[in-house]
Every structure is written in C-alpha cells, then in structure tokens.
Structure 1
Amino acid sequence: MSYRPPTSNPNYISPGRVKNNRPGVPWLAGCGLLGLGFLLGVVGLVVGALFWFGSTASNQPLPTRQPLAGVPDLSATLSESYLNAEIAREAKSNPLSIVGIVSLKDIVIKILPNEQIQVDVKVGNALVDFDVSVLESIGVVNGQIAVRAIGEPKVGKGNLPVNVNTVVQIVNTTIVEPQINNNVATIKVNERLLHLLDLQTANGQITVRYRAQ
C-alpha cells in the first residue's frame, strides 16, 4: 500500500512540478497596460501633428482704431528703414529656426497706410529657399503693438515643408512684434515714463502717440 501526501497542504509540490514564487501579472492588468500604452502613443502622435503642421496664424481682427481724445503728450515717428535695420540686426544676432526644419534667412517689412504692414520673409535650409509674404493689420492692444494676418499668407514657388501659418506666427511673435515694441512701446522723457496710446501708419512710417502717467 503506497502513501499519498495530503494534497490540501499548501506547501506540497507534486512530482515534476516546479514551484514559482514570483507573483504573476493578471491577464486583465496586462491588457490594461497595453491599452494605456496605445492611448499614450495616439495622444503623442496627435500632439506631434499639431506642433508639426501648426495652427492657423492668428487672424482675429484688432480692435477698431478709435480717434484719440484730446492732444497726446508726445508723438513720434518710426521709419520703415530704421525698423528694418533693427529687425535685420536681431535676426543676425539670434538666428531663428522654425520647428527645426527651416531657418529665417531674411525679413523685410513694408509700412502701408490704414494701419497695415506687409511682411516678406525668406526661409529655407541647405537645399532650397522659400519666399513668404503676408499682409497684416497693426494696432495697439493693452499698450503694446500687435499684428494680425489679413487673409492667407502667400508662398512663392515650391512646396514649403512647414505650414505657412506656423512660419507667420513664429516670425510675428519672435521678431516683428518684439522689435516694434522694443522701439516704441514705452519711452522716457525727462525721467517721466510715457505709455503708448495710439498709432497711425502712412507709406514708410508709423506715427505713435503717448501720454505721460
């Protein structure tokens, strides 16, 4: 008569069976981890696509210019040639890369009547250059110069490898607005700080008006 150990013993290991002391990952939990990884991958692709293709350049109209009540404390004129010289200096000192695909090679601003400017840029890489032109409105918003694209930017010959609206948006926020604001947003006269209230444009110049505070 052979002896059989009791199978109810939790420490009993039947012949030929190897005891595994490592806790296993439940099948359902493994599926959950795979699903989470897939979801994160999809979100990453969506975010990457938004960054790659860019959003539409801000074309929200600027507030309608209201006639300035009373006489400003000071008026000044910013010339097109001076503004372009400052922009060229900045672009040379701090080269601008656009999403790591093309670089800004040249930028020229033309000041037009009726609070408008034309921005012409050349972007490219080691292989090819592209010309982009956009008409923009310019105005004062909360004491700062702001520009907004009017209509769709135009691209010269070739297929620009970056969304043209991304080019316009980055050039505006990195070069155009900062450089104009650096020169006209606030000035100091006899130790008094004057704040920008209003502007008007004519061919080749921007006239800005200030009030002391």
Structure 2
Amino acid sequence: MKRGAVLLLLFLVSLYSYAQSTVGLKEVIVKPNTEKVLIGTKQRKADYGIGGSKDFPFFQTAYFIPSNGVTGFVDRVGLYIYHKHSFLEFAKPAKELLLYLYLPDSAGMPGALFVPEPIHIKPKKNTYWHWVDLSEYSLNLPAQGVFAAVGWVKPSKNDAGPLVGMSNECSDCPFYIYRFMTEDSAWHKIDTNKVPVTDKKNAFRNGLMVRLEVAVEAK
C-alpha cells in the first residue's frame, strides 16, 4: 500500500475515533415514582341526583374537597353522571354540562378558579363516572383543598338534565353551596343547622359526587 493511502487511512481512523469520543448522551429526565390517590367522594353510586333547568341556566352548585394531607399533582377529575327519571329520559343522551374547580377564599367559599377555564363535559351515557385529564395544567393540589362546582349548558324547558350524582356521605357538610350567575353572583350557603326542625327529616346533604386523582410520590 502506498504511503499516501496509509496516511489517509490513519487520518480517517483517527477522525472516527474522535467523533465517537465526543458524542454525548441524550438528556434524561428522571421522575420520582408516583402513585395515584383519590380524594373526594368515597361512594361508588349516588343517593340521588340534581340537574339544571331553563329557569336557572346559570345556576351552579359546589362541593368542597379537602386535601386531607395529600400532596401532589392533580392528574384527573371525576364527576358522576346520574340516571334520568323515566325510561324515555334514560334512553336519551345525557346533555352537556360545565365543571369548575375553585380555590377557597378567606371566607371558606369558592374563590378564584383553580383550573383556568370551565371543563366542558359531554357525557357518553347516563350513569357512570366521567373522568377528565388535567395533567396538562400541572396543578399542585392546594393544602386547603378545592371546591368543585357544576353548571349546565343550554338547558331546555322543563329539563332537569343532565343529572349529576349527589351523596349524603358527609354528615357535617352544609345543605348546599350555590349561586345564580346573574346580577348577584355571590355564593350562598345553606346549613342544616338553620333548616326548620319540621324540614330536617327531608333535608338532604348535597354532596356532589366528584373525585380528584392526585399523583403523589411513592414511599
């Protein structure tokens, strides 16, 4: 082999070796192991349901979800879609609704939005847990918890749908927290302690059937 060819070969080998030595590893993001924890409603099925109507198109009802010491990121929110009253209603598709998540204010009522916009839900059926992915927002669960509230989209005349599940599992919860988003958009709270004695036996404790799935660091 000619000397020039040998030198060229040695040069190419050296160049290849140098290139191999300067190739860096791709950046790898190491995430801690996480596990999913559910907070909010514990019941699997609703005790009854509540819905919107054309007379109150901007009505919202809210329920407080305490964090119970859980810390982590909110991955999903689940809302229980309840069944209709009659067979004909049950056969119809459930109608659209809006789900809001609020931070508690200084008075312990729903305040600023936790999720920056209402969550538009189009139920696929009438009785099931509807889950919405919130991981894109990277929401850190507040230590004080959050309020979940529902409103209804374009309710029709005499329509009580879509119904959302309610439970009586919380013995010390208020009767309900609500507001009509018209001129007076303040939240109102009805406590069973202020319900007349004659009505107490019929006073349901409206606990909205809602859950948060939180990603917490595995121990």
TM-score range (shorter-chain normalised) is under 0.3
**Structure ranking higher in helix proportion:** 1
Could you say which structure has the greater relative contact order, defined with CA pairs below 8 angstroms and 6 or more residues apart? 2
Q: TM-score, normalised by structure 1?
A: 0.25
Q: TM-score, normalised by structure 2?
A: 0.24
